[in-house]
Amino acid sequence: MATLSGDILIFTETLEEHHDLVRKVLQCLQDNDLFLKPEKCSFKQPSVEFLGLIISHYTLAMDPVKVAGIAEWPAPRNVKDVQSFVSFGNFYRCFIQDFSKVAHPMFDLTKKDHPWACPYYA
């Protein structure tokens, strides 16, 4: 089970374990006067989008909607733009081979003593 910012993700090996854990979580919420919004709930899903990732049985993948946004990302015009892009990339670093090497020139652009010269800006 994972929780973050009020989102709860329950995952188990078997359907029996799943039913048991769902009951326990619902009981815990009820015992603490916490409520769920039914329209935001889904149960027994083979795959879910959670925190920008697609999670399915033994698989973790980048959300294709978020990845598509990279192609439309505007070229950075200043340090803040670079920091924003690097932060986005950092979230998906486990999917990007040699992320540190790829991002290193961008990190350099954020240093105070480094002149602003973005080769990607046209």
61: DSSP letter: E
User: What's the confidence (pLDDT) of residue 112?
Assistant: 82
The structural domains of the chain, with segments of one domain joined by +, span 2-44, 75-109
Task: Return per-residue pLDDT of the chain as tens, 122 residues.
Answer: 666 557 888 988 889 999 999 999 999 999 999 989 889 898 888 899 888 899 988 899 999 988 888 888 888 888 899 899 889 888 889 998 999 998 998 888 888 887 776 665 54
d(CA 76, CA 81): 5
Q: How far apart are CA 21 and CA 12, in angstroms?
A: 8
Helix (H, G, I), strand (E, B) or coil at 54: strand
Identify residue 120 by its one-letter amino acid code.
Y
**Segments of 7-75 assigned E as strands:** 7-9, 47-50, 53-56, 59-62
| pTM, rounded to two decimals | 0.64
The per-residue pLDDT for 3 is 63
